[in-house]
Structure 1
Amino acid sequence: MDVGVIGLGRMGRGMAQSLVRAGHRVRVWNRTPSAADGLDGVTLVPTAAEAFAGDAAITMLSDDAALRSVIVEGGLLDSGTRPGLHLSMSTISVALAQELAAIHGRAGVPYIAAPVFGRPDVAQNGALNIVVAGDAAVIEVARPLLDAMGAKTWPFGTEPHRANAVKLAGNFMLVAAIEAMGEAAAFAEGHGVAGADLLDLLTNTLFASPVYKGYGASIAAGRYEPPGFGLRLGLKDIGLALSASAEVGVPMPFAGVLRDNLLDAVSHGDGDKDLAALALVSARRSGR
């Protein structure tokens, strides 16, 4: 397929490379063109409009503001050349996802929400878990792209915003797991038990899952750089979850605790570290 990729951060680069390996013709655009350096097999185009064309366009941008700036304020849906479909793969608010679905509907451009679970190395290997929602027929058209980027695609209905709600729910649980490990490690340290030893035990027994094992190992080693998933992005996602929960009247009291602890981490200079650095908040508060 002829596909454009807009957004070449750590995730977007890996996704573009996976598409190239699968034999797709890939055009890329990024606000900073040097982000494409070292990407083999892609064609760097000078404008977002040239990437928002062809059989499909993929957006993988950092937040609501970036996506709105490029797609809505950039007037891409009003341009003469538009893609056969738009795969929106960024982690964005439920409200923006609903707005984008309506705007695309009026413009006649098929819109699919397809946020992902996985870190940059997973994107590089084409092994993401992709949460998808939208018209089933359009999803099938996009299937070769989804298969190239992901190990599995998880469908969640015909309303695109549902995929974004699933993504935010998942990220809430991920941040909650890191907070739990940070508090447990600090508690153990207070009783003379090495936090690393506790995490080694629990992440290989009761909590032997990728999130606990991966982030637990980072916490145990004090390894927070380079970031795979930045702490500041985690703060953004918890904020989005809280906003979306308020819209439907669903209390999320622990999400509020997570937001405040993430803010604490950012205020202490840890915003650009890996999300695992959230554990430093509990360690710092315990005097360790």
Structure 2
Amino acid sequence: MHIGFIGLGQMGSAIAANLVKTGHDVKVWNRSPEKAAPLVAAGATLAASPADAASGEVVLTMLADDMAVEAVTFGEDGILAAPNKPIHVSLSTISFALAEKLTAAHAEASGSFVAAPVFGRPAAAAAAKLFVVAAGPAQALAACTPLFEAIGQKTFPLGHTPSAATIVKLSGNFLILSVIESLAEAMTLAEKHGVEKAALLEILTGTLFGAPIYQVYGKILVDQSFRPAGFAAPLGLKDMNLVAAAATDARVPMPVLSLLRDRLLATIAREGDDIDWSGIARTVADNAGPAS
């Protein structure tokens, strides 16, 4: 399949590499073109603009925030300027409002928009083990199925309304951070009473908490491997702000969300922008004072 890929950060580069490996004709574009060099060496083609990247059947975007997605879609030489009107698949975590805007804009231009946010950290992206939540027109979803199979271990089709996939992704990220926070609090409590974090984690994951989210982030918290960031804290804060906007629109009180946003803000203020969002565990531990 002739496809374009826009956004070559940690996640995007790994995803695009798997699309190249599975034999797709991939044209890549990134604001910093030097990031495309390894992919070009592996067989991808460098696009001159987002519109050029969108010259195939499908164009996928994996970008940091709404502003970046809007820029490559609506900007000069953006995706909507491509004459062939490809299916635009957003793999990013974007706002509900932007998902609605992109759906309308592509429909007006006689194109299609699919929201297909992914669950998984960079290691999962590199191993083609992501989980894809996809929503959009049935014909577009069917056309994109081989691409989702190339990058993930399972796809969850969610109907024809793209914003539904966006809400699932935002809800999931809220729960992930909630797990990190509760694990950090439990580990800090245990450690203050002389129980090692590793021992607590082994017991928890060997009994009632064996889910991947506890295993993956539990190990990160035990090892304190917060740098280099697999998912930087400012991106987590961005996502929690998107959750807050969706909650406000729907009049849904989310008191835990307020705590998580404040925890991220405190961690970024203390540690800087380069810490993983799981670094909130360090703030939790610091607030408890030194071990007795």
**For 1:151, what is the secondary structure of its paired residue?**
strand
Structure 1: which amino acid aligns with 2:249?
Answer: E
Structure 2: which amino acid aligns with 1:12?
Answer: G
Aligned to 1:66: 68
Residues 209-288 of structure 1: pairs in structure 2 closer than 5 A: 209-288=211-290
**For 2:93, what is the secondary structure of its paired residue?**
coil
Distance 1:54 1:128, change over 3 A: same
Q: CA deviation at 1:193?
A: 1.9
Partner of residue 115 from structure 1, selected from 114, 117, 137: 117
Cα distance in 2 between the residues matched to 1:225 and 1:256: 25
Cα distance in 2 between the residues matched to 1:188 and 1:124: 34
Q: CA deviation at 1:197?
A: 2.0
Partner of residue 164 from structure 2, selected from 133, 158, 162: 162
Aligned residues: 288
Q: What root-mean-square deviation, in Å, do the aligned CA atoms of Structure 1 and Structure 2 show?
A: 1.3
**For 1:27, what is the secondary structure of its paired residue?**
strand
Partner of residue 131 from structure 2, selected from 117, 129, 132: 129
Q: CA deviation at 1:191?
A: 1.6
Work out whether 1:34 is the aligned partner of 2:34. yes
Stretches of 4+ moved more than 4 A in 1? none
Cα distance in 2 between the residues matched to 1:132 and 1:234: 21
Aligned to 1:55: 57
Q: What is the TM-score of this pair, normalised by structure 1? A: 0.96
Aligned to 1:198: 200
Aligned to 2:88: 86
Cα distance in 1 between the residues matched to 2:214 and 2:191: 19
Cα distance in 1 between the residues matched to 2:273 and 2:180: 15
**Contact 2:85–2:110 (Cα < 8 Å) also in 1:** no
Q: CA deviation at 1:75?
A: 5.3
Q: CA deviation at 1:84?
A: 2.5
**Contact 2:71–2:78 (Cα < 8 Å) also in 1:** no
Return 5+ residue gaps in structure 1 as ranges: none
Structure 2: which amino acid aligns with 1:111?
Answer: F
**Contact 2:130–2:152 (Cα < 8 Å) also in 1:** yes
Moved more, 185-194 or 5-14: 185-194
**Contact 1:200–1:217 (Cα < 8 Å) also in 2:** no
Aligned to 1:10: 10
Give percent identity, aligned residues only.
Answer: 42
**Contact 2:50–2:77 (Cα < 8 Å) also in 1:** no
Distance 1:180 1:2, change over 3 A: same
**Contact 1:130–1:150 (Cα < 8 Å) also in 2:** yes
Cα distance in 1 between the residues matched to 2:21 and 2:154: 17
**Contact 2:54–2:82 (Cα < 8 Å) also in 1:** no
Return 5+ residue gaps in structure 2 as ranges: none
Structure 2: which amino acid aligns with 1:268?
Answer: R
Structure 1: which amino acid aligns with 2:28?
Answer: V
Q: CA deviation at 1:192?
A: 2.0
